[in-house]
Amino acid sequence: MQLNDVDELISDIRQGRMVVLLDDDTESHNEGVVMVAAEHCEAKHVNFMARRARGLICLTLTEERCAQLDLPPMVDDAQGEKSNFTLSIEAAEGIDTGISAADRALTVQVAVAPHAVPADIVQPGHIFPLTAMPGGVLTRAGHTEAASDYARLAGLLPAAVIADILTPEGTVADGPALADFAAEHGLKMGSIADLIHYRMVNERTIRRVREGVIDTEYGEF
């Protein structure tokens, strides 16, 4: 299965294009999502996700943004490999029923606005926020963290709209089906494993928290 380089995906995301993210780089076991940076999300992207990807449309947000919007978790004990959903949301103003592509795109823009406040949204709604773990894919190798990481690496807010990719029959697409989906729609495709490697190589993952003299049997260092 041919995958694109991380830098290629970053470039497309920066320009407002959608990409496909795989949670594994093997053909035998993987699932994928289509993503677009939240800042670039428009009605056409939501419509594509609903009609072509067919999975649940979610909005990845940092813990800080969820706190800013006062978004409570859907469950209190989400942990491990499970996705961290908050209660679903809707823009408080400017929408009709909330289900249309335009309404959902507006909800995304309201939620990621720099000075957004809790009063800007209502609950429940038709957009499903996911809280990304601090540290991104270096903490949890999930689609939520990967999408947020990619948006950040593209120089955008660490927030993205994602949707699981299903087959026309309604089953979860994997392996060749994901490759066919990306090829059919002209989308770049990358794996979370490659993103983890990219970050490990290009980012400083340790920091000095203390310094001092250590007295050992070989002298002081």
Q: What is the pLDDT of residues 144-169, one digit of tens each?
A: 999 999 999 999 999 999 999 999 99
Type of residue numbered 93: E
Our CA angle for 70, 86, 12, nearest 5°, is 100
Tell me how crowded residue 5 is: count the other CB atoms within 10 A of its CB: 12
The reply to whether 140 falls in a domain is yes
The reply to whether 212 falls in a domain is no
The reply to whether 213 falls in a domain is no
DSSP 173: P
Q: Which domain does 59 fall in, by range? A: 6-203
C-alpha dihedral sign at 101, 58, 29, 20: positive
- Residue 23: CATH number of its domain: 3.90.870.10
Q: Flag whether pLDDT at 78 surpasses 60.
A: no
Of 205, 200, 116, 202, the residue nearest 157 (C-alpha): 116
Q: How many domains does the chain have?
A: 1
The reply to whether 215 falls in a domain is no
Which residue's entry shows tokens 């928290």?
209
Q: What is the pLDDT of residue 56?
A: 96
Residues facing residue 90 across a β-bridge: 122
Q: Flag whether pLDDT at 210 surpasses 80.
A: no
End-to-end Cα, the chain, rounded Å? 50
Question: Could you tell me the pTM of the whole model?
Answer: 0.89
Split at pLDDT 50, 70, 90, the class of 195 is very high
CA distance 168 to 36: 22
Strands 188-191 and 19-22, by their bridges, are parallel
The reply to whether 77 falls in a domain is yes
C-alpha dihedral sign at 148, 153, 157, 161: negative
Q: What is the pLDDT of residue 29?
A: 61
Average pLDDT, the chain: 92
